[in-house]
Amino acid sequence: MRSLLITNIGELTTHGPQGTVQHAAMVVDEGRVAWIGGAGHLPMTDERLDVEGRAVIPGFVDSHAHLVFAGSRAAEFAARMAGQPYTGGGIRTTVSATRAASDETLRANTARLVGEARRQGTTTLEIKSGYGLTVADEERSLRIAAEFTTETTFLGAHVVPADTDPDEYVRLVCGDMLKAAAPYARWVDVFCERGAFDAEQARTVLRAGIDAGLRARVHANQLAQGPGVQLAVELGAASADHCTHLSDADVKALADSGTVATLLPGAEFSTRSPYPDARALLDAGATVALATDCNPGSSYTTSMPFCIALAVREMRMTPAEALWAATAGGAEALRDNEIGHLSVGARADLAVLDAPSFLHLAYRPGVPLVHTVLRNGEPLCTP
Ligand SMILES: [Zn+2]
């Protein structure tokens, strides 16, 4: 691979030892950040990219997305906006549509959403199964997800399918379904919530996944306080996701552990629910990530900039905290220390913004500010 000099960077956010550098330049070699410096004494490289004063940030790490599905729930959204509450039961609507869809339809829908995400600066994307809920349909969802990312998550324990005994279903998830899913999955996840899976069922699913060589992450405390966060910490899960309803003990448990609190404000936006208390988590010292939760029911957005804007406006995160959470925080939630930052040696996954500073991500909500996206130093999206 040819070496690339990126010049005339107005503001470079590294999330590394060099912090934020004004009037910066960067060399990318072999897909990695090889050098960072000021505007003078630029190294010789094979190629040059003049970004004309624009800001450069690490590529977004969206560590929580449900992209393999078919169908639309726009009508459910409209009903909710007209006053109906969100319960999570609509998942079964998407399950029916997903089972009925062809591989080609699922693949095309996933590709469309991955394309959207990339154009908005996302360079790493986690994709979950969870709309198949049969052995064959969960395997198929993960096989398709694995065509787009290595960060694939088995979420057979999303909801109990209609007309199925819950304990029997948990046995299926931990048995034949896990066996079929594991070759395509890196992570195991469970929706630990009233109406989905209780603590004992969730523990059983996660333990089975861990025994099969997967690593754990948990949908926890989205709709009410419950055992999800404590279970995630107990099992050493990489991340507890949602964290919308936390007790003081939950906040302390997250702060005292290596489990990342992944906040998904698109879900609160789209279900018109109270946002998580990001300040309590940050002030207690917990590691916070931001992700989209992209799914057709409760958060149909692929936009990390939108989530940053929500985090700043609605959750009182500073713009710098929100950017860190959407990049380095997501990387911690995926246990990948090569991404989410632009230190020398890191993977050259980055976004060039059509703005002089990353502050504009929250300052100019809804505006497409991503100009160019590189992954491993190669163009992923160009204007
Ligand atoms: Zn989710």
Mean pLDDT value across the chain: 96
pLDDT tier for residue 288 given thresholds of 50, 70 and 90: very high
Half-sphere exposure of residue 226, counting CA atoms within 13 Å on the CB side?
25
CA of 171 to the centre of ligand 1 (A): 22
Predicted local confidence at residue 1, as pLDDT: 66
User: How confident is the model over 285-292, as a mean pLDDT?
Assistant: 98
CA of 253 to the centre of ligand 1 (A): 21
Predicted local confidence at residue 88, as pLDDT: 63
CA of 56 to the centre of ligand 1 (A): 29
CA of 168 to the centre of ligand 1 (A): 23
Query: Is the pLDDT assigned to residue 150 strictly greater than 90?
Result: yes
User: How confident is the model over 14-18, as a mean pLDDT?
Assistant: 96
CA dist list (Å): 383 to 92, 125, 377: 39, 21, 16
Predicted local confidence at residue 39, as pLDDT: 82
Query: Is the pLDDT assigned to residue 97 strictly greater than 90?
Result: yes
CA of 19 to the centre of ligand 1 (A): 32
Q: Which of 64, 125, 65 is nearest to 380 (CA)?
A: 125
Q: Tell me the per-residue pLDDT of 369-381, one tens digit each, with 9 for 90 and over.
A: 999 999 999 999 8
Query: Is the pLDDT assigned to residue 241 strictly greater than 70?
Result: yes
**Higher pLDDT pick, 129 / 39:** 129
pLDDT tier for residue 86 given thresholds of 50, 70 and 90: confident
Q: By percentage, how much of the chain surpasses pLDDT 70? A: 99
Query: Is the pLDDT assigned to residue 72 strictly greater than 70?
Result: yes
CA of 80 to the centre of ligand 1 (A): 18
Threshold 0.85, pTM exceeds: yes
pLDDT tier for residue 224 given thresholds of 50, 70 and 90: very high
Q: Tell me the per-residue pLDDT of 209-219, one tens digit each, with 9 for 90 and over.
A: 999 999 999 99
CA of 359 to the centre of ligand 1 (A): 27
Q: Tell me the per-residue pLDDT of 309-362, one tens digit each, with 9 for 90 and over.
A: 999 999 999 999 999 999 999 999 999 999 999 999 999 999 999 999 999 999
Query: Is the pLDDT assigned to residue 100 strictly greater than 80?
Result: yes
- Encoded tokens for 242: 């949602």
CA of 17 to the centre of ligand 1 (A): 33
CA of 221 to the centre of ligand 1 (A): 12
CA of 298 to the centre of ligand 1 (A): 9
Question: Are 279 and 50 contacting, i.e. CB atoms less than 8 angstroms apart?
Answer: no
Question: Are 230 and 220 contacting, i.e. CB atoms less than 8 angstroms apart?
Answer: no
pLDDT tier for residue 2 given thresholds of 50, 70 and 90: confident
**Higher pLDDT pick, 279 / 162:** 279
Predicted local confidence at residue 382, as pLDDT: 79
Q: Tell me the per-residue pLDDT of 101-128, one tens digit each, with 9 for 90 and over.
A: 999 999 999 999 999 999 999 999 999 9
CA of 69 to the centre of ligand 1 (A): 13
Residue 290 bridge partners (DSSP): 263
User: How confident is the model over 172-194, as a mean pLDDT?
Assistant: 97
Predicted local confidence at residue 366, as pLDDT: 95
